[in-house]
Structures are given as C-alpha cells and as structure tokens.
Structure 1
C-alpha cells in the first residue's frame, strides 16, 4: 500500500501593490506609505550624532583651556624704596683706656672693682713703695752731697782769687820799681818770677771755677735722679686718667707686676657708656653708597624684638682683607641713655644708603620672568582640535636688549599675550626694584609668574 504524499504548504500570496494614487487612497481611507524623511529612527540618529558632536566640542574646548598658560600679574604701581646696606660688627665705647704700670713691684692695694664709676685722678691701684722711698732718700742725699761740693769749689775759687790779686799786686809793684829805677832794679829774673807766679794763680783760678761748674752740674744730675725717684714713687699710686667706668680688672693685691718693654694692663676704663659706637665691616660692593650722616638701625641678640637707632659717623678709607674678602670699617654712633647696650655685643646693622619716594616699582620676580614655549604655541588637544584647522599663532614680541648697564627686560600682559618691554632699573630693596622707561606706564599688568590651567598656586 502506497503511503499518501505529504501535503506541501502553499506560500502566501504577496500583497498586490495598490496602483491607486495617494489621493484615491486618501478618499477611500486606505493607509498611506511614509516618506524617508518622516522616519522616526532617522531623526533619532541625527539627534544622537549632534549630541556626540557637541560633547566632543566641549571636551576639545576644555582641553585647550587646560593647555593654555595662565599668567599671574601685578599692576605697576608707585611706592617708596629704601636701599639698605647690611653689616655686622661689635659695640665699643667711644674711648677705652687700658691702664697699666710702668714700674715693677708688688701690688699693695686695689681700690676699685668692675662696674665702679671713677673720677679723673682717683687712685685705683697702689704698689709697694719701700724700695722707691729708699731710692728717694738716696737721691736727696746725693743732692746734698753735690751741693756741698759746689760750696767747697766756690770757697776754693775765692781763695784762689785772693792769691791772684796778691800776685798781681806784687807784679805791679816790681814793674813800678823797674820803671822808676830805669830798669836797674829789680832784676829781670825777679820780674819773670813774679809774672810766672801771677799766671800760675790765674790758671789755678780757672781750674777752680771749672770745678765749681762741675759741682753745679753734679747737683743738677743729683736733682734729676731725685726727681726721677720721686716720679717713680708717685707712679706707684696708679690714678684714673679719665672719668669713666671700670670694664675689666685683671689684678689683685699681692700680684707681682713685671714691667718690661710693654706696660702690663691692670684695668680697662670706658669713658661714657651712655654714648657707644658700633664698628661694622661693610663689603666693598656696598661701600660706594655709604656716607657719613646716613641713618642706621641695628639689633642685638639680647633684645631681638627691639631696633636701636644710630647714624654713620665715619667711613674708613683703609681696607681690611680677610680670606680674600675686602671690607671697610664703618663707625655708627649710638645713643645708649638707658644703658641697655653693653660694649662687646655683636650687632647686625642696616644702613639706609638710598631712599626713593613715589617711584614706579615692580617685584623682583617680574624681572626674572621669562615665558616658556607653551606661551608661543598653545598645545592642541582633543579630536575636534586635530580635525579642525587652526589659526596661525603669533609669537610674543621680544624686545632686543640694549647692551648698556642698568637695562632689563620686563614682560607685561597685553590682549592676553605677553609683551616684552625694555626698562631701566634703579635701586632695589630685595623685594621690589625701581623701573623707568618710555613705554612704562603706571597700572600696566606686569607678569610675575606663569602657571598651567588648574595649577594650584
């Protein structure tokens, strides 16, 4: 028995397109076919593409903003500038005297101590005087002996003068007799003998007078020795040469003092501690602007919160070289009425060398600023920036530097771009510098720093 053949499915008959026009379909109420631009998916796709393009544009703009540099500026303003010269030194009294001893001996007494106020002529130290007193007594005895020799010589002169007169009278009598006798008597031998006796007594008289002069010279010598011994005796009491205060005492009773070629320092006196002077060493690079009469101020370690005032009184011409560093000694007069300062303190002084009022000034960072390469060509970023053409970037205008000294380059911000200006610089206080020039105008935006977008200052 033959199985029945399977039944094949009949494919559906495709709809026959309606040849009727759209107007007939509309009259008959038949559904109309949509146009391609009326597709809902088409407009959704276009909207999605527009959103993606807008997001890319915003992202590219943000990338460019991040790549563009940010300039930190400060307005060019007027102000005061003070050029200070800093130097270190020590405080010293106006006049300090080292008191020593010209004599050797043993200290018998010391009448002053440190910080004592003394007057001129006051006895400060006494040496033992027994040996000196013996020398004085010996000198006085020598003077008396010399004076006795003078008296003896003078007596001899008077005796010799009498002999001279006697021999002279005898010679004159013989000469008169010879004249009256016509030369018969006395004999020539007698006249010669009388004449020789007279000349001999005259010679003795001259010798006696010389002895008197020698004795008088011996008296003067003895008196000079006595005066020297008395001077030494007076120097055994060491007195104050000035009014002042005792700063240093290096002697005690019983100490032996040996004075040789150099006097031994026993005490040190300061004339007046209410007036001090600060000796500072100014570097050779700064000494050209330091003058006498300039105001100054300084600080000391003992009172760090207080500044003391002073004025420059002297600038030395002689230089001091220490480890190949040349400095010049400068003296600052200091008023110490309250005695808060003491000699020997180390101080740091600041001398007002030059002062300018109401000048144009810029921060020192502005003179050191130089724009980087990112300024001249901002970095492009993003897909849109790589696809779209860019406008050509203009590099910043750079001024050609003049080789003359004192000319610097300053960068200002104009229309969002850095522009270089050539300026003349003046004094600087370490933070600001005086500037001037034809193109320099007050209020200009001076660039002091360049940062990246989003960089935290």
Structure 2
C-alpha cells in the first residue's frame, strides 16, 4: 500500500488522505466513504493519483505542507456545511413536533372547554349529594290570608256613547279631536245640510197641495149634502102624493093608470135620493183621504225638519272623546231607522269599571260587595282596589268556546284621571279573609301519598287521614336535618297557605328550591345557603396553594428534563462529535 499526503479527489469531500489508499474506505480504495457519503473512485485511478502525489511531495515538500494547510481549511468549511444541514434537519423535526403538539393542545383544550361545564356540574351534584342539598328555610309566623278567585278582564268606562249619523251626508266640520273633553250640547259633528233642506222644502210643498185637495174635497162634500136635502124633499112629496092617490083609487075617484103614474114618480124620487146618498158617502171618503194626505205631508215635513237638525250632531253627555273614526270630507252613512257608521266615541271617565269573566267554577263564590285587587297591564308597578258591583246571572260563550259569567268591578281611582279604556286587566276577588293564622309559602306545602309516608310519620301523626289518598306535609328543619311533618291546610292562595294544625310559630320550614323540596326525605341532612358561602370562601385559598405548588414543582422538574432531552438527542451528539473531530484536526 502507498502512503500519500493530499486531498480526496471528490470535490464535495476535500478530506485529507492520511493513510494508504484502500486502507480506510469501505471499498478498500482509500476514500472515507462512510465519512462524506461519496462513492469511492476505482483502484487504478487511486493508485495513479497516489503516484502523482508522491512525486509532487518529493519535489515540492513545502507546497505539500501548504496543500495540507489548504486542505485543512477546506475540510473545516465542509464540516460547517454538515453542521448547518444537521441544524436544518433538527429544526424541521422541531417544527413538525411543535405543530403536532399545538394541534393536540388545541384539540384537548377545546374538548376540555366543551366538557368543563358538564364535568363541573356533575362534580358539584355529586358533592351536593354527598353533603346534602342546599335549601332555603323560613321561620313560621302568624299573619292574615286572603283567599281569592282570579279572572281576566278589560277596563271600560262607566258610560260610553257611540256617535253615529242618522242621515247620510258629507262631514264638513269636526270641532273636537281625540282626547278633548266635551260637555252636553257641544257640537261634535256638522254635516252638509243642502240635500236635507231641499227635501224639507219639497215636503212642505206637498203639504200645501194636500191641504188644498182637502179643502176641495170638503167643498164637494158640502155640495153633496145640500143636494141630498132637495132630493129628500122631492122624495117626501112623491111619497105623500102616492099615499093620497091610493085613497082616491080606493074610493073610485081615479083610475088605475093615474095611480101608476104617481107610483113611478115615487120610485124615481127614491132612486134619486139613494144615488145622492151614495155620492155623499164618496165625498166623505174623499175628504178623509185628503185629510190623511195632509197628515202624511205634515209628517214628511216634520221628518225633513228633523233631518235638518240631525246635520248638527251634539254631545249627549259630559265626557272625553276616546276615539275619532271619521275625517272631514267623508260621507257619514245613516238613516232614521238604522244607525250608520261610528264617527267617534265619547266616554265618561269619571268612573272606570273592569268587566271580568268568571269561570263556571268560581261564579258561585263571587258575591256583590266583595273587595278585589286589580292588576292592569298598562300599570305594572301599581295595584288598584275595586268592589264587585254586579255578577251576571246568564252565561255567555267566548270566541274560544269557553263559558263565562260577566262580572263588573268598580275601580277606586280616588280622583286619578290617568286610566285608559280598553286596557287588559286581571282581577283577584277576595272571597275569604283569615286573620292571625299560621301562614307559610304555598311552595313549602307538598302533597304526598299517604302510603308513601314513612311508617313513623304515618302512625304518630294525628293530622294524617288514612282514608284519603294524599296528605299535605312540610319539612321542618331540626339541627341540619329535616323532619317530615303532616299539616292540615285551612285555606290557600297562589303564594301563601294557611295551616290550621301541625305547625307552630317560630319553627323553620323548608321553602325551596322546588327541586330540592321534591327530593327531600324524612331525616335527610341538608345545607343552608350560608354553609355554601363558607365553602366557597375556603375553596379559592386551597386552589391557590395547589396552583403555587404545581408551578414550583414544574419549575424544578424542567431543568433535568431539558438536560435529559439535550443529552438524549442523536443530532446533538453527532454535532458535538463532529465539532470535536474538527477541533482535533485543527489542533493537529
């Protein structure tokens, strides 16, 4: 084997050849293929290269030294490139690991953020079940209880008038607006009167004509009466002549033919008289008809005059205009017999009522004179008083098909004129008043099946009626435990219940929350709100201590972890090894 000094012919390597060619390379060619990763040249070329370098070293020994120095410098740059490549690989791995770690952190953090409320709620419920539910208690006291029945209603004025027109005419003036106060006799609406005045003139003309006809008929009747008097005289003379001629004919003084002439004259006068009588009756009828026509014409004139007056509509009462539904220029429709469209509404707001609808179940308990509390939606912060004045005895059916009885409650406004008609209201009619009784919130009284009561409670209580299906019970607080106590209810309202037996003033009963009440059992341990407050005050301190200790431990553990990570990194070990080799070569 030939020793040679110089550099490897692979330009990307530039490593010095320190031993004989073929002795250090993996293929036996003299090139350190494992160190640089290049493919070793063939054995012939390596031998020739070694021969040339040997000759050059014998001739130019100082140059060879410089050549080796240059080779060492070139070798240092190659090592730097290797280190940069290793750093890039290391940073790439760090980026991938960091990205994956960030994704894991985001996923886990989102999952924890989503699950935390549920987990927190579950843990809290488990803790509460272990320590007992938190309940609210109230000391039993005596007080007054009013039993009421409720009904919906609507606020309305005592008196309300719809102003309509009795004639069809155009509106030419509306002196008042909505909200104005009016008095009896004030002009509310003025209609165009030209047409109705023309109708009045025509009716008066017809009246004059009918009166003239009546006079003519009366004159005809008078003439007929005079004529019939002459006819009656002629008939009487003919009858007297006929009777005298009959006597003469009986004595033989005249002949039959002469007697027949007098008989014909009598018959003629009688027929004429009867005709005059019939004519007289006709004249009388004409007079009656003329008189009726005159009366009719007079009625038409009177109606026409009223229509003229109806063109001026006046207020029938003192009140306030609550609504105006017409405008100037519009036609107000109406007739004498049928009221037309509503022009405006006037209400007497000095006394307001609530028309309530009582159900069939409550109507029998409502009596006139009972007091009532009225809650009006338009005044949510006020409670009004009222008195039941009337209850209808005839049922009505609403739009939804439900049957109800109308009740009238008078509002006590004490001179307050700020009430509005048409507001929705709810009425609580006071049907029973209990004074100085034990009163508890209605929510505190529960209905339990008698068969579900504990045997001790069911057997020792004098209040439980074993023949009934349900029994009313309350839970009384006794040294952090609750005791189921059967009670007898005297009366109840929406918010309060009067207890006639089973409770005494001064005892503490559980009043809520409702969910805890439903789950309570006899002799069960409970907690009060102040207990939870104390627990919440102690819990943050423990959390802070745990947090500080965790951070301190983590800080102490970080250092060895970092050292272990650095020592266990293969890239760092290789980089340190390469740096050591370069340092040794430079020193040599």
TM superposition score normalised by structure 2: 0.55
Do 1:396 and 1:418's aligned partners in 2 also have CA atoms closer than 8 Å?
Answer: no
Do 1:406 and 1:424's aligned partners in 2 also have CA atoms closer than 8 Å?
Answer: no
Q: 1:435: Cα distance to partner?
A: 2.3
Match of 2:424 in 1: 346
Q: Which has the higher strand share?
A: 1
1:228 corresponds to 2:303: yes
Match of 1:83 in 2: 147
- Residues 452, 369 of structure 1: alpha-carbon distance in 2 compared, 3 angstrom cutoff: farther
Matches within 5 A, 1:159-174: 159-174=223-238
Match of 1:390 in 2: none
1:359 corresponds to 2:437: yes
Q: 1:269: Cα distance to partner?
A: 0.6
1:334 corresponds to 2:401: no
Distance 1:115 1:300 in 2: 21
Secondary structure of the residue aligned to 1:121 is coil
Do 2:210 and 2:294's aligned partners in 1 also have CA atoms closer than 8 Å?
Answer: yes
Distance 2:133 2:204 in 1: 103
Do 2:132 and 2:526's aligned partners in 1 also have CA atoms closer than 8 Å?
Answer: yes
Match of 1:5 in 2: none
Do 2:438 and 2:505's aligned partners in 1 also have CA atoms closer than 8 Å?
Answer: no
Do 1:84 and 1:352's aligned partners in 2 also have CA atoms closer than 8 Å?
Answer: yes
Q: 1:245: Cα distance to partner?
A: 1.7
1:452 corresponds to 2:525: yes
Secondary structure of the residue aligned to 2:420 is coil
CA distances 1:304-343 after superposition (whole Å, capped 9, x unpaired): 4333222222233424446576554432211341212121
Range moving further from structure 2, 142-151 or 421-430: 421-430
Unpaired runs of at least 5, structure 2: 1-129, 249-253, 511-516, 533-588
Q: 1:116: Cα distance to partner?
A: 2.5
Distance 1:266 1:197 in 2: 68
Distance 1:309 1:412 in 2: 36
Match of 1:267 in 2: 344
Match of 1:97 in 2: 161
Secondary structure of the residue aligned to 1:305 is coil
**Superposition CA RMSD, Å:** 3.7
CA distances 1:163-210 after superposition (whole Å, capped 9, x unpaired): 111122122223334444535566222222222222222221122112
Distance 2:235 2:135 in 1: 132
Matches within 5 A, 1:244-393: 244-259=319-334, 263-270=340-347, 272-282=348-358, 286-317=362-393, 318-321=395-398, 323=400, 327-336=404-413, 337-368=415-446
Distance 1:233 1:310 in 2: 45
Do 2:481 and 2:525's aligned partners in 1 also have CA atoms closer than 8 Å?
Answer: no
1:193 corresponds to 2:268: yes
Do 1:406 and 1:425's aligned partners in 2 also have CA atoms closer than 8 Å?
Answer: no
Range moving further from structure 2, 69-78 or 203-212: 69-78
Range moving further from structure 2, 90-99 or 250-259: 250-259
Match of 2:504 in 1: 442
Match of 1:202 in 2: 277
Bigger relative CO (Cα 8 Å, ≥ 6 apart): 1
Q: Which has the higher helix share?
A: 2
CA distances 1:118-164 after superposition (whole Å, capped 9, x unpaired): 23333321221222112111111111111111111111111112211
1:218 corresponds to 2:293: yes
Distance 1:263 1:350 in 2: 39
- Residues 405, 425 of structure 1: alpha-carbon distance in 2 compared, 3 angstrom cutoff: farther
Do 1:315 and 1:329's aligned partners in 2 also have CA atoms closer than 8 Å?
Answer: yes
- Residues 403, 104 of structure 1: alpha-carbon distance in 2 compared, 3 angstrom cutoff: farther
- Residues 405, 204 of structure 1: alpha-carbon distance in 2 compared, 3 angstrom cutoff: farther
Distance 1:178 1:152 in 2: 39
Distance 1:106 1:299 in 2: 43
Distance 2:231 2:417 in 1: 87
Distance 2:131 2:193 in 1: 96
Unpaired runs of at least 5, structure 1: 1-65, 377-394
Range moving further from structure 2, 81-90 or 99-108: 81-90
- Residues 328, 446 of structure 1: alpha-carbon distance in 2 compared, 3 angstrom cutoff: farther
Match of 1:237 in 2: 312
Bigger Rg, which one: 2
Distance 2:143 2:349 in 1: 40
Do 1:79 and 1:361's aligned partners in 2 also have CA atoms closer than 8 Å?
Answer: yes
- Residues 349, 192 of structure 1: alpha-carbon distance in 2 compared, 3 angstrom cutoff: closer
Alignment equivalent of 2:176, drawn from 99, 112, 117: 112
